[in-house]
Amino acid sequence: MAITVRNNKFILKTDNTAWILRTEEGYLEHLYYGADVPDCDPDHLVNRQILNFAPYDASLGLKYIYGGRLYVYSGANSGDFRTPACDLTDKNGCRGCRFRYAGYEILSALPSDYVLPHVRGDMETLKILLTDEDKGIDAELYFTPVEDCDVFARCAKIVNRSGGKICLNKAASMQLDFENGNFDAIFIAGAPGDEMRNVRRRITQGKFEISSRFGITGHSANPFFALCEPSATEDAGECYGFNLLYSGNFKSEIESDCHNCVRVAAGISDESFSWTLQDGESFYTPQAVCTFSAEGIGGMSVRFHKLCRKYIVSPKYADFRPIVANTWESFYFTVDEDKVRAFARKAKEIGADTVVLDDGWFRNADNENLGDWELAKDRFPSGLKKLVSAVKDNGLRFGLWFEPEMISRRSKLYQKHPEWLLNNGDTGSESRNQYVLNMGNPEVVDYLYGVLAGYIGEYGIDYIKWDANRYLSEVGDLRLENQGETWHRYVLGVYSLLERLTSRFDVLIEGCAGGGGRFDLGMLYYEPMIWLSDNTDPFNRTEIQFGAATAYPPCTMSYHFSKGDGTTGKPSLPYFRALVADFACFGYELDLTKMSESELAGCRAFTDRRRTLDKYVLSGNFYKLNVDNDYYYACMQVAEDKSSALFTFVQLNAQIRYESVIVKLKGLDPAARYRIGANGQILYGRTLEKAGLKISDLLCPHWKTEDALRISLARGKSGSGISFEIVRTDD
């Protein structure tokens, strides 16, 4: 049983973890979250001494001091000075609330009116009702254990039954208190083209936040973060992971108080948020997911990857990702119908299965026509239908680029509906020569649905590349009484458009926001893969993909093989560029029509090989190996039944001096024997895990066997590497 209620305790379990709550003096308290404690009896943990200066429950006296208790969902301005999960202005204009326990229910699934992205599948869910009786406001807390992933999904619903209008100023998705929080925080930071850097810092007294004010997730921070023991490594130590299924302004706060209690509160950012609730109305928060690993940071990543693959990404894509040939870096705005036809023929030759006509099909430059979505007839005189047929006649799928949320001032749509832009009373700033439509306006969403559904239906579009190439600014909606609702309504509009399209059509949507500016679980619920960065340099991409893999599985990251001097001007060999696709979704983004026969044959070989690796990339468990070195990245992707694995070693900075490189493998069955694809050696899983594999030998120039994968550069230079399968054997 994932959920049991015993005496005054709620015991929630997953395969390896437990979360225990209790009711005490009419309050709901947090008792324990971590490795499973089978006896469920850690009551002795919460027994704090008297805190000077701290308010207490007047009817209970000093035995109930608010600041000394651990809570599950705290109201603001109620005698607990730590960061609240919820803050509101009641019908009398008074600020704050205090929640007390009022009951529970065990549901067979989340309520059916929960329409935000959520962990898929009907799973037993604990609903706990908290109430502020004085104010007539309830908080319903939902806990869903995802047993096989060691994950708990959480969300809250705030209900106004006060008889008047209230304003919600903050409603976090989750709160978690630690009695003795001695942690490092790990989070993802970055910039356009340099996404997904992992940052680690000590939590000390004070408050630290990871947040976005961009209206979308943004490049500079990601909703994922972790708290681990300061001694935790990739392979050992305790680590808690957190993430949000949300794609707008978010805020995760980590606060350590003067008694070393750490409180985590994560959800929609309260900074520019407010939401009016009339009497009888309610508000659902986005879902948060939490995991715990006693096997280090890597153990946390494995759990979050599995959650994403099995319960976030649509099951339609469980075992399929296309191999795309995309026109952007191939032709930019000079793309035309002859080029696409020729490109499609070559795409077929190299084994790609989808041609994506990127930006440029409706405009000549990035300062016009966004919003109109009319084909540029001068460059596509025969029309889209014929072009789509020509591509499909090659046995390929057809993809088309859109940036639905955006609008150019030089567009018919702007002439017709200038009031559809986000507007806070300012004329608005430009970014990439464009403005943002107010997705909170249902008329805008209906218009975009009409456009996109029209293209998909009429032309048989199989695939949409969905860009959002600017952040939101001057955010306001003059139709609304409460302007603080605009940001969240924007996100709800984006989700509703994606929901309508993906539920009606069999169309695969690849996300993108100037690269990885909107890479989050909310978008992955609708888009099985997201363009991770506009930076396709394989040196940088290796780092970006490894950074993202702390939280997200490789099957969600799209990466394309591009020109030799790539986006950074740094030369790289074709094999090396292909190697990086070992841990991402693969595609091509270079002018295939200018490639020689032998170059095309090389690409064909990469495609064929990559197809055989889908089983690892789409459903394998991903492990980073030997993370503490400056020279190379290594990883394993192990089939769920441990029968085989893909090993990849990417040498970014080779050393001239000889160094013996031994990499300890992970994820194999210790008692099974495995054949090493690179040299045919047979070794026990436990030997490979404990003693490791000697990579320097495999990289020697004299190494060559037929078992070897074609992709090995086998020279040990910077920008080289090796990749091979490891297969269980009875020999």
- Within 8 A by CB and 6+ apart from 11, the residues are 3, 4, 5, 18, 19, 20, 40
Q: Which is nearer to ligand GLA, 166 or 509 (CB)?
A: 509
Q: How many residues bind ligand GLA (CB under 6 A)?
A: 11
Q: Is 257 in the site for ligand GLA (CB under 6 A)?
A: no
Residue nearest to ligand GLA (CB): 359
Q: What are phi and psi of 513, to 5 degrees?
A: -145, 85
Q: Which is nearer to ligand GLA, 221 or 512 (CB)?
A: 512
In the bound complex, what is the minimum distance in angstroms from residue 589's beta carbon to ligand GLA?
Answer: 8
Q: Where are the beta strands (DSSP E) in 90-220?
A: 100-107, 125-132, 137-146, 151-160, 166-178, 184-191, 194-202, 206-211
- One of 249, 256, 287, 469 touching ligand GLA (CB under 6 A): 469
Q: Which stretch binds ligand GLA (CB under 6 A): 49-57, 63-71, 509-517, 686-694?
A: 509-517
- One of 225, 373, 398, 531 touching ligand GLA (CB under 6 A): 531
Q: Which of 80, 467, 520, 537 is catalytic?
A: 467
Q: Tokens 């605009």 — which residue?
A: 486
User: What is the identity of the amino acid at 452?
Assistant: L
CA distances from 426 to 260, 262, 591, 621, 730 (A): 45, 41, 43, 49, 71
Q: Which stretch binds ligand GLA (CB under 6 A): 22-30, 141-149, 508-516, 626-634?
A: 508-516
Q: Which is nearer to ligand GLA, 237 or 511 (CB)?
A: 511
Distance CA 83, CA 220 (A): 23
In the bound complex, what is the minimum distance in angstroms from residue 604's beta carbon to ligand GLA?
Answer: 24
Q: Which is nearer to ligand GLA, 328 or 623 (CB)?
A: 328
Q: Which stretch binds ligand GLA (CB under 6 A): 216-224, 510-518, 630-638, 648-656?
A: 510-518
332: left (phi over 0), alpha (psi -120 to 50) or beta: left
- One of 404, 514, 547, 677 touching ligand GLA (CB under 6 A): 514
Q: Which stretch binds ligand GLA (CB under 6 A): 507-515, 621-629, 630-638, 682-690?
A: 507-515
Q: Which is nearer to ligand GLA, 462 or 534 (CB)?
A: 534
For the packed helices 597-612 and 337-349, what is the interaxial angle rounded to 10 degrees?
A: 60
Instruction: Report DSSP state, residue 75.
Output: B
543 CA to centre of own chain? 17
Q: Is 467 in the site for ligand GLA (CB under 6 A)?
A: yes
Q: Is 515 in the site for ligand GLA (CB under 6 A)?
A: yes
In the bound complex, what is the minimum distance in angstroms from residue 350's beta carbon to ligand GLA?
Answer: 20
In the bound complex, what is the minimum distance in angstroms from residue 401's beta carbon to ligand GLA?
Answer: 6
- One of 534, 537, 543, 582 touching ligand GLA (CB under 6 A): 534
Q: Is 328 in the site for ligand GLA (CB under 6 A)?
A: yes
Q: How would DSSP label each residue in 286-347?
A: PPEEEEEESBHHHHHHHHHHHHIIIIIS-GGGTT----EEESHHHHGGG--HHHHHHHHHHH
Q: Is 358 in the site for ligand GLA (CB under 6 A)?
A: yes
Q: Which is nearer to ligand GLA, 326 or 423 (CB)?
A: 326
Task: Check if the beta carbon of residue 526 is closer than 8 Å to that of residue 495.
Answer: yes
Q: How many residues does the chain have?
A: 731
Residues between 154 and 183 that touch ligand GLA (CB under 6 A)? none
- One of 359, 477, 527, 543 touching ligand GLA (CB under 6 A): 359
**Residues 435, 436, 437, 441: what is their CA dihedral angle, to the nearest 10 degrees?**
-140
503 CA to centre of own chain? 21
Asked about 506 being catalytic, the answer comes back as: no
- Within 8 A by CB and 6+ apart from 651, the residues are 631, 632, 699, 716, 717, 718, 719, 720, 721
- Within 8 A by CB and 6+ apart from 18, the residues are 11, 12, 32, 33, 34, 35, 36, 37, 40
Tokens (6 digits) for 480: 């609304």
- One of 239, 325, 512, 639 touching ligand GLA (CB under 6 A): 512
Q: Which of 270, 534, 537, 582 is catalytic?
A: 534
Distance CA 287, CA 243 (A): 9
Q: Which stretch binds ligand GLA (CB under 6 A): 176-184, 284-292, 345-353, 511-519?
A: 511-519
Asked about 534 being catalytic, the answer comes back as: yes
In the bound complex, what is the minimum distance in angstroms from residue 353's beta carbon to ligand GLA?
Answer: 19
Q: Which residues bind ligand GLA (CB under 6 A)?
A: 328, 358-359, 401, 467, 469, 512, 514-515, 531, 534
- Could you list the active site residues? 467, 534
